[in-house]
Amino acid sequence: MKETEILKHFAIWNEIEQPQPLRVGFINDSFVVPAKRIGETSYCLQRINHNIFKDVEGLMRNIEIVTSHIREKLLIAREENIERKVLHLIPTKEGKLFYKSPDGNYWRLYVLVEPATSQEKVTPKAAELTGEAFGRFQCQLADLPFNALCESIPNFHNMEFRLRQLDEAIAEAANRPVSDVRRKRLEESRDIVEAINSRRERMCLAEILFREGKLRKHINHCDTKVNNVLFDEKGRPICIVDLDTVMPGFVFSDFGDFMRTAANTGAEDDPNLDNIHVDLEIFEAYTRGYLKEATFLTPLEKELLPYGCRLLSYMQTVRFFTDWLNGDTYYKIAYPEHNLVRTKAQLRLVEEQEKVEEQMKSIIARL
Ligand code: GN1
Ligand code: MG
């Protein structure tokens, strides 16, 4: 169904232009819908990937709970420009949070936050402000009981679960004929399997501590990549986007996911592994901003922040590698080897983070 047809189902009252595809993210499809007249509201239309998000209803309810909770906090604090500081869902004409088209697709509409840009790299100053923004985001949600939201993807950041998925992918690939592409992919990456296996137990620490009742869950964003923050023209963070995965989780994993993407001198999918190091200046700046706002952290949660960095890079290694072995069914890829290149780049980041663990700890202690 054409996007223009889809838009007719939403409660938009101003005149709009043709939707334009927006090439961001690996999961959903997004379109910018500009207003016809300058100064009026423009929109962002998204087709939700329901192969990945099976419970669209629950996911949209999560987003509605989180955005209205934050909006209320901003109103109480008498903030200005609230429309730019928290995402605003436009309901359908029937008052629903999404529209299901006859062809079985799910659509939602947000007010477009503008002018704003997203970045793949940040300066230390921007990192500090972003640390504050995420610290505030978690703080604003700290009074919501963690089970107020559902897991829009069950076990999303559960390391034990991600390793089980990998084991299944390995078993499946190993059972295929020698000539099969998935079998070949496995045979050619024994060293990666090795590297993952040697870290398994350590990396499942959070689940163990949770079962022992030593660690709690919060409402987390669960995809705090640097490109999920919108910045204004002066390079200040204004709004946190991509809320599909807001759900219960461990606070340090949100910290770690930002560091995985922003405190890396290379790219997430850098083909040149020599580019990949931990940017400790960014690490320090973000941590300074974050600790200023995240006043609710327990001593254990604070202690686990460097672990959170390694955890998220390791988890992403496992997830990219699983997708590689499965024949690239989950992430959008730009070229055939993309998931393998991503895997190697993330694994190198884990190794680099291990090298500077002590330095990270002393930065945190100093701050
Ligand atoms: C996916 O679509 P995007 O780029 O926002 C993924 C994250 C991964 C990330 C890796 C629902 O996010 O979990 O960390 O790619 N989202 C989902 O860059 O799986
Ligand atoms: Mg995203």
Q: Do 271 and 163 belong together in one domain? A: yes
Q: Is the Cβ atom of 279 under 6 angstroms away from ligand 1?
A: no
Protein residue with least CA distance to atom 13, ligand 1: 223
Q: Are 104 and 130 in a shared domain?
A: no
* pLDDT for the residue 26: 79
Taking residues 217-223, report their average pLDDT.
93
Letter for the amino acid at 186?
L
Is 122's pLDDT higher than 80? yes
Give the percent of the chain with pLDDT over 90.
92
Residues 148 and 49 occupy one common structural domain: no
Cis peptide before 177 (omega within 30 of 0): no
**In-domain check, residue 235:** yes
Quick one: 331 and 219 in the same domain? yes
Does the residue 118 lie in any domain?
Answer: no
pLDDT band at 330 (very low <50, low <70, confident <90, very high): very high
Question: 58, 87, 111 — which closes off a domain?
Answer: 111
The residue among 58, 89, 111 that closes a domain is 111
Instruction: Say if residue 302's pLDDT is above 90.
Output: yes
131 in any annotated domain: yes
Across the range 201-213, mean pLDDT stands at 97
Same domain, 175 and 309: yes
The rounded distance, in Å, linking the Cα atoms of 49 and 212 is 35
- Number of separate domains in the chain: 2
| Average per-residue pLDDT for the chain | 95
CATH of the domain at 62: 3.30.200.20
Q: Is residue 197 located within the same domain as residue 276?
A: yes
- Tell me if 144 is assigned to some domain: yes
The response to whether residue 268 sits with its C-beta less than 6 Å from ligand 1 reads yes
Among 22, 27, 49, 313, say which to mutate for ligand 1: greatest number of ligand atoms within 8 Å of CB.
Answer: 27
Q: What does the alpha-carbon distance between residue 7 and residue 5 come to, in Å, rounded to a whole number?
A: 5
Alpha carbon of 176 to ligand 2 centroid (Å): 34
Q: Is 301 in the pocket of ligand 1 (CB under 6 A)?
A: no
Mutate which of 156, 225, 264, 319 for ligand 1? The one with the most ligand atoms within 8 Å of its CB, which is 225
106 φ, ψ to 5°? -110, 135
Q: In this structure, are 242 and 350 located in the same domain?
A: yes
Q: Which domain holds residue 45?
A: 3-111
Q: Are residues 67 and 215 in the same domain?
A: no
Distance CA 322, CA 328 (A): 9
Given this model, what pLDDT does residue 312 score? 98
Contact of 297 with 251, CB cutoff 8 Å:
yes
Indicate if 325 and 286 belong to the same structural domain.
Answer: yes
Binned at pLDDT 50, 70 and 90, residue 121 comes out as confident
Q: Are residues 309 and 361 in the same domain?
A: yes
pLDDT in tens, 184-196: 999 999 999 999 9
Confidence check: pLDDT of 27 > 90:
no
Q: Cα of 207 to ligand 2 centre, how many Å? A: 25
Pull the structure tokens for residue 47.
Answer: 């087709």
Q: Does 242 sit in the ligand 1 pocket, CB within 6 Å?
A: yes
Q: Is the pLDDT of residue 129 over 90?
A: yes
Take atom 17 of ligand 1 and give the residue whose Cα is closest. 27
Which CATH number characterizes residue 344's domain?
3.90.1200.10
Residue 327 lies in a domain: yes
Ligand 1 centroid to Cα of residue 100, in Å, is 23
Average pLDDT over residues 57-85: 95
pLDDT confidence of residue 242? 94
Residue 235 pLDDT level (bands cut at 50, 70, 90): confident
- Domain closes at, from 80, 111, 142: 111
Q: Within this chain, do residues 132 and 10 fall inside the same structural domain, yes or no? A: no
Please give the average per-residue pLDDT across 2-29, as a whole number.
92
The protein residue with its alpha carbon nearest to ligand 1, atom 15, reads 26
